Amino acid sequence: MLVAVASGLCVVVLGGAILWLTPTTPTSMTAKLAVVDDAPPATPQAGPTRTATRTAPPSPQTDGTPSTIADDGTGGDTPADGAVGGFAIANVRPAGTRDGVCWAGGKVTLRALVRRTGEATSFDYTWVVDGADVARSTALIAENGRRHLAAPRPLRSTGGSHSVTLRITAPIALQRTITITMCDQAAY
């Protein structure tokens, strides 16, 4: 019983202390500092104005032959110069373990980025490795969109250079080719 009375008395005293120490007007938690500066306020300076300019869209190919764009094997993001019918193969890239100037581990994954200017549509494409078709498929691409593609299986090799091409076959003909140098497996 004595413990209950002592506990009740502590609660009352603690509650009173909280009420006593709580300020009646709210105070800001951030300090307001006065800035003393003799310099006049800055005025905006007029600078050169920028104007947007448009360039003409690329002209379509008329002879129906695919565009071939050689690459150094890194598949940079430079858009393909031969954009046709609103399509461009922005890059074709290997993904894997790079060892200096060659790809190690005996395999690389093949990836590509296709860009579209225009309405949404589907397109047919083929992966070609060393001149042989290894996969064909169809993909949808959004209006003014882009589509990431991956080959269905990795390129496997014990060494040497290989030509890899992503070829769009319909509704237009367009391709991009890179050369991939695989490390000699005997070196490992």
Task: Give tens-digit pLDDT for 151-179.
Answer: 989 998 888 999 999 999 999 999 999 99
| Domain-embedded: residue 2 | no
| Domain-embedded: residue 124 | yes
Residues linked to residue 162 through DSSP beta bridges, in sequence order: 180
| Domain-embedded: residue 71 | no
| Domain-embedded: residue 160 | yes
Length of the chain: 188
pLDDT band at 121 (very low <50, low <70, confident <90, very high): very high
| Domain-embedded: residue 95 | yes
Rg (CA), the chain: 33
Query: What pLDDT was estimated at residue 157?
Result: 87
User: Do 89 and 113 touch, CB atoms closer than 8 A?
Assistant: yes
Domain total of the chain: 1
| Domain-embedded: residue 70 | no
- Tell me which residue range forms the domain holding 181: 87-187
Specify which of 13-17, 21-25, 180-184 reaches the highest per-range mean pLDDT.
Answer: 180-184
* CATH code, 162: 2.60.40.10
| Domain-embedded: residue 41 | no
Cα four-point dihedral sign 154, 93, 165, 143: positive
| Domain-embedded: residue 177 | yes
